[in-house]
């Protein structure tokens, strides 16, 4: 009784915010729904949603002042989600620290794992059809959704935010992902007050972010996986560049915008203009890391976004086909004295050459 009175004087049951009562209540309702409607779809949606909202916020800011209540809640989440929360917490905090996760045994991890194992054993022995044909498929689908969520939140090598009101209402500001990574100690209720102006942002919530992927990037990934395709595109592009390079004035510095997953342009220009200083400019950090593996240390990489209309202080700029933005400003007012623009085969310019009919692609020369 004295302990309860002391808690009330110190601010009540909730350690950080009374609004965490909403998350605790929803966790209880999640358990009720699982019992009342035990379908694969409900299990999958619950694993994904709870892991990325209730469990995620509980990892960073345990809800209760009482250590006993926090342990009980962690055990309840472990049973509901089939994921020992101590394990989930250690892996997630290693992700924030950008260090490899290492297995760390504890009494709490043993208790949570034992609880999940006992629950699964009971289901498998007494409700085997449900366990193997409903629960496990739903559980696996939920883990897959969580993996997709994590991938798209960090696609491009950086944390990306989504500011849609409905998503952030239903997912308790989970969309403020870049802000969360900038300061993971900020309570979920305060994240909207910490919007980072320079944060990467998307027009889609994480699980729908794939719709904004340029189909050309998918083709680039296919090329990256096939040495035969690499040889083909390298040969066709080399022939096109070899035809146009002699038309240019002396070149000392070259900017290749959007180095790409397979940096064929940089590889070719290093061969055809051996004395030039070549720089890749790409907003996708992971693409630049792939390019470095092909190019080594001889070519500079700049992790930034270039937009049509901005100046480029280089003798030659090369613009990719999968450019974010209109090409018209490039043709109208070239960002460099000479520009080579990858474009569709039907968009001819005064000087240009077809790269490949099969690829529907040409390379246009634009000069000031």
pLDDT tens digits, 218-242: 666 666 677 887 788 888 889 999 9
**Tokens representing 166?**
């409905």
Predicted local distance difference test score (pLDDT) of residue 299: 81
Predicted local distance difference test score (pLDDT) of residue 153: 93
CA atoms within 13 A of residue 150's CA, in its CB half-sphere: 14
Give the span between the Cα atoms of 340 and 315, in whole angstroms.
11
Q: In terms of pLDDT, which residue wins out, 304 or 173?
A: 173
Provide, rounded to the nearest whole percent, the portion of the chain with pLDDT above 90: 55
Give the span between the Cα atoms of 351 and 362, in whole angstroms.
11
- List the strands of the sheet with 361-367, edge to edge: 300-303, 277-282, 253-257, 316-319, 338-344, 361-367, 351-356
pLDDT class of 6 with cuts at 50, 70, 90: very low
Contact 176, 187 (CB under 8 A): no
Predicted local distance difference test score (pLDDT) of residue 190: 95
Give the span between the Cα atoms of 22 and 29, in whole angstroms.
10
Give the span between the Cα atoms of 260 and 144, in whole angstroms.
27
| Tens-digit pLDDT profile for residues 85-99 | 999 999 999 999 988
Q: In terms of pLDDT, which residue wins out, 324 or 103?
A: 103
Cα angle 304, 307, 309 (rounded to 5 degrees) comes to 140
Average pLDDT over residues 290-316: 85
β-strand partners of 316? 254, 338
**Fold (topology level) of 216-367:** Rossmann fold (3.40.50)
Residue 353: its H or E element: strand 351-356
User: What are 292-301's contacts with CB under 8 Å, separation 24+?
Assistant: 294/262, 294/263, 294/267, 295/263, 295/266, 295/267, 295/270, 298/270, 299/266, 299/270, 301/259
pLDDT class of 4 with cuts at 50, 70, 90: very low
In this predicted structure, the answer to whether residue 210 has a pLDDT above a threshold of 80 is no
Average pLDDT, the chain: 88
- Ordered by start, the domain boundaries in the chain are 2-153, 216-367
Please state whether the predicted TM-score (pTM) of the whole model is above 0.75: no
Q: What residues contact 162, with CB distance under 8 A and at least 6 apart?
A: 168, 175, 177, 201, 202, 203, 204, 205, 206
Tell the residue number behind the tokens 């994921």, with chain if given.
83
Q: Quick one: 241 exposed, middle or buried, by C-beta within 10 A (0-12, 13-18, 19+)? A: buried
In this predicted structure, the answer to whether residue 279 has a pLDDT above a threshold of 60 is yes
Cα angle 272, 244, 219 (rounded to 5 degrees) comes to 80
């Amino acid at each position: 009784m004295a302990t309860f009175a002391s808690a009330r004087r110190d601010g009540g049951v909730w350690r950080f915010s009374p609004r965490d009562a909403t998350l605790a209540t929803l966790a209880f309702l999640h358990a009720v729904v699982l019992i009342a409607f035990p379908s694969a779809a409900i299990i999958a949606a619950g694993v994904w949603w709870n892991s990325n909202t209730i469990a995620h916020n509980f990892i960073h800011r345990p809800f209760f002042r009482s250590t006993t209540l926090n342990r009980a809640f962690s055990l309840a989440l472990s049973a509901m989600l089939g994921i020992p929360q101590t394990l989930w917490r250690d892996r997630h905090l290693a992700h924030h620290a950008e260090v490899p996760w290492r297995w760390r045994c504890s009494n709490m991890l043993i208790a949570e794992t034992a609880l999940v194992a006992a629950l699964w054993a009971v289901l498998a022995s007494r409700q085997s059809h449900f366990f193997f044909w409903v629960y496990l498929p739903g559980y696996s689908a939920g883990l897959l959704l969580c993996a997709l969520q994590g991938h798209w939140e960090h696609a491009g090598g950086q944390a990306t935010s989504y500011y849609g009101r409905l998503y952030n209402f239903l997912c308790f500001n989970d969309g403020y992902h870049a802000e969360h990574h900038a300061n993971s100690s900020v309570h979920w209720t305060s994240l909207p007050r910490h919007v980072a102006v320079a944060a990467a942002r998307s027009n889609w919530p994480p699980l729908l972010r794939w719709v904004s992927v340029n189909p050309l990037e998918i083709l680039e990934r296919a090329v990256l996986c096939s040495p035969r395709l690499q040889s083909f595109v390298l040969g066709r592009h080399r022939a096109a560049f070899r035809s146009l390079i002699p038309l240019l004035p002396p070149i000392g510095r070259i900017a290749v915008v959007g180095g790409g997953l397979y940096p064929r342009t940089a590889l070719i220009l290093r061969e055809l203009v051996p004395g030039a200083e070549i720089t890749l400019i790409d907003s996708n950090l992971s693409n630049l890391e792939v390019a470095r593996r092909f190019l080594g240390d001889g070519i500079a990489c700049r992790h930034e976004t270039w937009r049509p209309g901005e100046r480029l202080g280089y003798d030659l700029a090369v613009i990719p086909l999968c450019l974010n933005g209109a090409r018209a400003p490039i043709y109208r007012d070239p960002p460099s004295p000479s520009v080579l623009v990858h474009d569709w085969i039907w968009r001819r310019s005064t000087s240009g050459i077809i790269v490949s009919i099969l690829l529907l692609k040409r390379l246009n020369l634009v000069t000031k």
